[in-house]
Amino acid sequence: MEIKKTALNNLHKIHKAKFVEFAGYEMPIQYEQGIIEEHKFTRVEAGIFDVSHMGQLFIYGDQNLTLELEKIFPLNLKNLKINHSKYSFLMNNEAGIHDDLIITKLNDGFLVILNAACKDNDYKILRSLIDNKYKMILENDKALVAIQGPKSVSILSKIINGVENLNFMSGNWFNYNQSKVYITRSGYTGEDGFEVSISNEQAEKFVKELMENGSKLIGLGARDTLRLEAGLCLYGHELDINKTPVEANLKWAISKERVENGGFLGSDRIKKQINDGVKKVRVGIKPEGRIIAREKTKIFNTEETLIGEITSGTFGPSVNGPVAMGYIDDKFSKKDTKILLEVRGKKYPANICGLPFYKKSYVKGATQ
């Protein structure tokens, strides 16, 4: 199968990106300065991330569409304000997660941002669930560009007027170079930032302007270390069809009203797990030394009984030490519980800790 390329592929090559294949796309893993420097730059300045491989699904419809989508997603979409976003899940009847996603309410429907590896399957599932009643467009002619970091608002506002008025998890249409772009104040790094849906034709010019104003291109490597420090899940690691939002410690994303009233995919199991508890749960893990516990690392209690497995682990440049997330038996999930991690045949001490490892700095509030 031919590997796809984003509209920014040539720009990545000009800036000497190292590429990897990811979800069927040729994507930059890092540039010349390397992952750690890219990570640190994003934390103090503003990094540019090409996330055009992700799915931008526009679903157009009236009030009936809102009711139909509430049967699928565990959200109160009726009360969601126009141009506001929520984090949610596409689940099966057993509350297994097909995908985690961001839903934004538009004047004439919804914009759903899907994970790259899941987007085609998500589209088929949603198409069948809403029975072809509504217009659905999985965009191929739009790029998605994220600018993340404390200086992102000052940089982006020089190019597009008004973005500074957005608050976290809100968005709107803006004018850029005589065309309309949709921008949300959101991201995946634990920093303030924006995601810009822009035509493929305009994407390179736009990114060059961001760079001229002090931002830099950042690869998927630093995107992963940034999200892990922020305690954010990655589909295929912390989340998959065999895990539920409750097990993933994400029940905060489902309102109490929706849990009580049910009526969405997987609602019976979600309610049962919230009431009865779960056997395994996602936790943050901090190794005591400098050892890095990668994905699939086995977790033991202090009596050397197997109790879980790491789903993501790396060196956290902003916390200057190793960080990890994984699933363990719920009875060992309390903060400060001592555990052991088996790396290359040896067991190393670690502790259960709270998430995130690095404190988020999102802009809170609502614009309307």
Tell me how far apart the alpha carbons of residues 122 and 99 are, in angstroms, rounded to a whole number.
7
pLDDT tens string 317-365: 999 999 999 999 999 999 999 999 999 999 999 999 999 999 866 665 4
Any idea what the CATH number is for the domain that residue 83 is in? 3.30.1360.120
118 domain residue, yes or no: yes
Looking at the fold, whether 210 and 308 belong to one and the same domain comes out as no
Rounded to two decimals, the pTM is 0.95
Looking at the fold, whether 213 and 291 belong to one and the same domain comes out as no
Looking at the fold, whether 215 and 146 belong to one and the same domain comes out as yes
C-beta separation of 291 from 332 below 8 A: no
Looking at the fold, whether 317 and 215 belong to one and the same domain comes out as no
Any idea what the CATH number is for the domain that residue 325 is in? 2.40.30.110
Close Cβ partners of 38 (under 8 Å, ≥ 6 residues apart)? 30, 31, 47, 216, 218, 219, 221, 222
Residue 167: C-alpha distances to residues 84, 148, 186, 192 (Å): 9, 14, 9, 10
Extended strands (E) in 51-134: 55-60, 85-91, 97-106, 109-114
11 domain residue, yes or no: yes
| DSSP strand pairing (280-287 vs 216-217) | unpaired
Q: Mind giving me the DSSP string for 248-292?
A: TT-GGGS-HHHHHH--STTHHHHHHHHHH--SEEEEEEEESSS--
Of 195, 214, 230, which closes a domain?
A: 230
Looking at the fold, whether 194 and 105 belong to one and the same domain comes out as yes
What's the average model confidence in pLDDT over 213-227?
Answer: 98
pLDDT tens string 283-314: 999 999 999 999 999 999 999 999 999 999 99
Three-state SS for 240?
coil
90 domain residue, yes or no: yes
Looking at the fold, whether 49 and 188 belong to one and the same domain comes out as yes
Close Cβ partners of 62 (under 8 Å, ≥ 6 residues apart)? none
Three-state SS for 71?
coil
pLDDT attached to residue 35: 98
255 domain residue, yes or no: no
Q: Looking only at Cα atoms, what is the longest distance across the chain?
A: 65
Looking at the fold, whether 213 and 349 belong to one and the same domain comes out as no
Q: Mind giving me the DSSP string for 295-329?
A: TT-EEE-TT--EEEEEEEEEEETTTTEEEEEEEEE
187 domain residue, yes or no: yes
Looking at the fold, whether 73 and 191 belong to one and the same domain comes out as yes
Looking at the fold, whether 110 and 18 belong to one and the same domain comes out as yes
Handedness of CA 333, 336, 337, 343 (dihedral sign): positive
362 domain residue, yes or no: no
Strand order across the 4-5 sheet: 4-5, 25-30, 18-22
Handedness of CA 226, 190, 338, 296 (dihedral sign): negative
Looking at the fold, whether 225 and 284 belong to one and the same domain comes out as no
Tell me how far apart the alpha carbons of residues 359 and 246 are, in angstroms, rounded to a whole number.
22
pLDDT attached to residue 365: 46
132, pLDDT greater than 90: no
Q: Mean pLDDT for the chain?
A: 96
Of 168, 196, 230, which closes a domain?
A: 230
5 domain residue, yes or no: yes
**Structural domain boundaries enclosing 307:** 279-353
Looking at the fold, whether 202 and 301 belong to one and the same domain comes out as no
pLDDT tens string 58-85: 999 988 999 999 999 999 999 999 999 9
pLDDT attached to residue 1: 77
pLDDT tens string 150-176: 999 999 999 999 999 999 999 999 999
Of 197, 230, 263, which closes a domain?
A: 230
What's the average model confidence in pLDDT over 2-11?
Answer: 97
Tell me how far apart the alpha carbons of residues 210 and 46 are, in angstroms, rounded to a whole number.
9
180 domain residue, yes or no: yes
Closest CA to 75 of 233, 270, 235: 270
Closest CA to 42 of 301, 263, 259, 221: 221
Handedness of CA 284, 287, 290, 296 (dihedral sign): negative
The structural domain count of the chain equals: 2
What's the average model confidence in pLDDT over 255-263?
Answer: 96
Close Cβ partners of 131 (under 8 Å, ≥ 6 residues apart)? none
Looking at the fold, whether 199 and 289 belong to one and the same domain comes out as no
246, pLDDT greater than 70: yes
